[in-house]
C-alpha cells in the first residue's frame, strides 16, 4: 500500500507533512516527499489524515471482555473476591475464544496492534489472536497458595506447553511469556520456579507489582521488609526481559531495581484511577531511564480499550498528582503508547515509523472540528483526539480495520457469542 500526501509521526515523534509511505509485505519500504518509483499497490489518499505507529497495549486481560461493567464501585480486593474470581471459575474454552476475538476487534478499532495478555485458556486466546491478524504476547498466569513445587500443577504444565507449542507462531505475531500473577497470589517456591521457567526458555516475564498499598505493605510484612519488586528481583524474576504491571506504590529502591534490571513498567492509569489504587510515579521512573509503557488492564476495570483516552490520562494524572504541569510531554506519551510497548514485548523492529521496521500502523482522521486549529499536531493527538478518529489499523502490512469494517473478524458473531457465554455463566452464579 502507498499512503499518499499524508502527515506522519516520524521516528523522532515529530510531525512531517505531505509524505509518501510505502509498505511492502510486512515492512515499511519507503518514506519520502516524492512519489516513489516502486509500485506499492493500492494508493491511500492521505488528505486530512495522520499516519503513525500503531499502539502496543503493555498490560491486558482480553478475555475479561466478558466482565465489562460487572463489578463496579468496589475496592480491588472486594472486586476480585466477590465478583471476578467467582465469575472466572465458570469460564469455558469457547467463552474465552469469543471474548478474545471481541477484544481484538475493539483493540483494532482503537489502533492497538498488539497486547501483552495474561490469563488462562491460552490455547483459545492464541487461536483468536491468530485469526484476527493482530499480535500478542500471551502468558498463562500462575498462582499458587500451597507450599511446595508447582511443577506438577496444571497451570505450570499449561504454561510450559504454551511456550513449546506457540512461541513464535503465526510468523512471529504470537509470542509467549512466562507469568507470575503477583506476589500476593504465590509462594516463594512458585515464584522461583516460574522465574526459572522463563530463564529455561529465554522468554519474557509478565507480573503484577505493587498495584495497591495493601498489596505492597502486606508483602513487606511477610518478607522482612522487602517490597514486591525487591522480593521478585531476589527470586530471579527480573533476570529475563520483564514487564511489571501497575507499580503504583513502587519505592525509590524499587525504581533503582527496574532501571538496573531493564524492567518495563506498564502503567494502567484509567484502571488504577477507577479502582482508586493510586497514580504510578511515571516522572520518577522516566528520570531513572525506566522504559514506561501504557496498558489498559481489562475492560472489567477500565471499562474500554480506547487507547487514545488512555494516553490522555497517562499524560495528565501526574501533572495533578505532582502539582507540576510541565511533567510528561506529548512526545513522551506517544513513545510510551507505541515504541515503549513494543520494546516491552521484545519486538525490537516495531513501534516506530521508519524504513525497515514492521508496518504496524494506524491512521487518524485529523480533519474533524475537535482537531482544529493545529498549532502542534502532537499536542492535539494526546489532548484533543478521540478514539473514533482511528480510521485504519494495519499489522505486518495487512489492513485489519478500515472505516468501520473489520476485515478479519465477524464482530456480530463474536459479540453474540460473548453475550451468550455471559448469560450462561451468570445462571450458574
Contacts (Cβ under 8 Å, ≥6 apart) of 170? 129, 130
Q: How far, in Å, CA of 94 to CA of 5, rounded?
A: 44
Phi (first) and psi of residue 264, to 5 degrees: -85, 135
For the chain, the average pLDDT equals 97
Count other Cβ atoms within 10 Å, centred on residue 152.
Answer: 8
Does residue 361 have a pLDDT over 90? yes
Range 115-128 average pLDDT: 98
Query: Which pLDDT score, from 0 to 100, does residue 80 have?
Result: 87
Query: pLDDT-derived band of residue 76, with 50, 70 and 90 as boundaries?
Result: confident
Query: Which pLDDT score, from 0 to 100, does residue 169 have?
Result: 98
Does residue 74 have a pLDDT over 90? no
Q: How far, in Å, CA of 19 to CA of 15, rounded?
A: 10
Domains of the chain: 2-53+351-406 (2.30.40.10), 55-344 (3.20.20.140)
Count other Cβ atoms within 10 Å, centred on residue 214.
Answer: 14
Query: pLDDT-derived band of residue 12, with 50, 70 and 90 as boundaries?
Result: very high
Does residue 77 have a pLDDT over 90? no
Q: How far, in Å, CA of 16 to CA of 51, rounded?
A: 10
Query: Which pLDDT score, from 0 to 100, does residue 75 have?
Result: 84
Q: How far, in Å, CA of 64 to CA of 127, rounded?
A: 16
Range 367-387 average pLDDT: 96
Query: Which pLDDT score, from 0 to 100, does residue 71 have?
Result: 86
Amino acid at each position: 500500500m502507498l499512503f499518499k500526501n499524508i502527515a506522519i509521526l516520524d521516528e523522532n515523534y515529530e510531525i512531517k507533512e505531505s509524505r509518501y509511505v510505502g509498505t511492502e509485505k510486512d515492512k515499511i519500504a519507503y518514506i519520502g516527499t516524492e512519489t516513489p518509483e516502486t509500485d506499492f499497490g493500492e494508493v491511500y489518499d492521505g488528505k486530512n489524515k495522520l499516519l503513525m505507529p500503531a499502539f502496543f497495549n503493555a498490560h491486558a486481560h482480553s478475555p475479561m471482555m466478558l466482565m465489562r461493567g460487572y463489578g463496579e464501585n468496589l475496592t480491588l480486593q472486594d472486586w476480585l473476591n466477590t465478583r471476578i474470581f467467582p465469575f472466572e471459575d465458570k469460564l469455558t474454552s469457547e467463552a474465552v475464544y469469543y471474548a478474545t476475538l471481541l477484544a481484538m476487534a475493539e483493540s483494532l478499532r482503537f489502533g492497538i496492534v498488539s497486547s501483552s495478555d495474561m490469563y488462562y485458556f491460552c490455547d483459545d486466546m492464541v487461536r483468536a489472536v491468530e485469526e484476527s491478524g493482530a499480535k500478542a504476547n500471551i502468558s498463562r498466569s500462575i498462582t499458587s497458595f500451597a507450599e511446595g513445587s508447582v511443577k506438577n500443577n496444571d497451570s505450570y504444565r499449561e504454561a510450559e506447553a504454551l511456550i513449546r507449542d506457540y512461541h513464535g507462531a503465526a510468523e512471529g505475531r504470537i509470542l509467549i511469556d512466562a507469568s507470575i500473577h503477583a506476589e500476593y497470589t504465590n509462594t516463594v517456591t512458585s515464584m522461583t520456579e516460574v522465574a526459572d521457567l522463563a530463564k529455561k526458555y529465554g522468554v519474557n516475564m509478565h507480573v503484577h507489582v505493587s498495584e495497591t498499598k495493601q498489596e505492597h505493605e502486606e508483602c513487606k510484612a511477610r518478607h522482612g521488609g522487602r517490597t514486591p519488586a525487591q522480593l521478585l528481583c531476589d527470586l530471579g524474576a527480573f533476570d529475563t526481559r520483564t514487564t511489571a504491571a501497575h507499580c503504583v506504590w513502587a519505592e525509590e529502591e524499587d525504581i533503582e531495581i527496574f532501571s538496573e534490571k531493564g524492567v518495563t513498567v506498564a502503567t494502567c492509569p484509567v484502571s488504577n484511577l477507577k479502582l482508586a489504587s493510586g497514580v504510578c510515579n511515571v516522572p520518577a521512573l522516566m528520570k531513572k531511564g525506566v522504559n514506561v509503557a501504557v496498558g489498559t488492564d481489562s475492560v472489567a476495570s477500565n471499562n474500554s480499550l480506547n487507547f487514545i483516552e488512555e494516553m490522555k490520562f497517562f499524560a495528565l494524572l501526574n501533572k495533578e498528582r505532582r502539582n507540576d504541569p510541565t511533567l510528561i510531554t506529548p512526545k513522551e506519551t506517544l513513545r510510551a503508547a507505541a515504541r515503549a510497548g513494543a520494546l516491552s514485548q521484545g519486538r525490537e523492529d516495531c513501534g516506530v515509523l521508519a524504513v525497515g521496521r514492521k508496518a504496524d500502523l494506524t491512521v487518524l482522521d485529523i480533519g474533524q472540528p475537535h482537531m482544529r486549529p493545529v498549532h502542534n499536531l502532537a499536542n492535539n493527538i494526546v489532548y484533543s483526539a478521540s478514539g473514533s478518529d482511528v480510521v485504519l489499523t494495519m499489522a505486518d502490512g495487512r489492513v485489519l480495520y478500515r472505516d468501520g469494517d473489520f476485515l478479519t473478524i465477524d464482530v456480530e458473531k463474536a459479540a453474540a457469542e460473548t453475550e451468550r457465554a455471559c448469560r450462561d455463566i451468570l445462571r450458574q452464579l
